[in-house]
Amino acid sequence: MFYYFHDSFALGLKDLKTTYKYSQIIKSNQGRSNR
């Protein structure tokens, strides 16, 4: 059970990081298209 929780926690952290990265990319893309 602990390993399962640890894996899901690590996956959640990875998802957060990728989501943050993608949001940053989208923001920069929007800024470029606006100018």
Q: What is the pLDDT of residue 7?
A: 79
Q: Please tell me whether the overall predicted TM-score, pTM, comes out greater than 0.85 for this model.
A: no
23 lies in some domain:
yes
pLDDT score, position 17: 92
State the Cα–Cα distance between residues 11 and 5, nearest whole angstrom: 10
pLDDT confidence of residue 13: 87
- What's the domain range around 12? 1-27
Q: Within a 10 A sphere around the Cβ of 29, how many other Cβ atoms?
A: 10
pLDDT confidence of residue 34: 62
Q: What is the pLDDT of residue 18?
A: 92
Asked whether residue 14 is domain-assigned, the answer is: yes
Q: How many distinct structural domains can be found in the chain?
A: 1
Q: Is residue 35 part of a domain?
A: no
Tokens 């998802």 label which residue?
Answer: 15
Distances in Å between the Cα of 11 and the Cα atoms of 2, 4, 16, 23, 25 are 14, 11, 9, 18, 21
1-35 pLDDT, tens digit each: 556 667 788 888 889 899 999 999 888 888 777 65
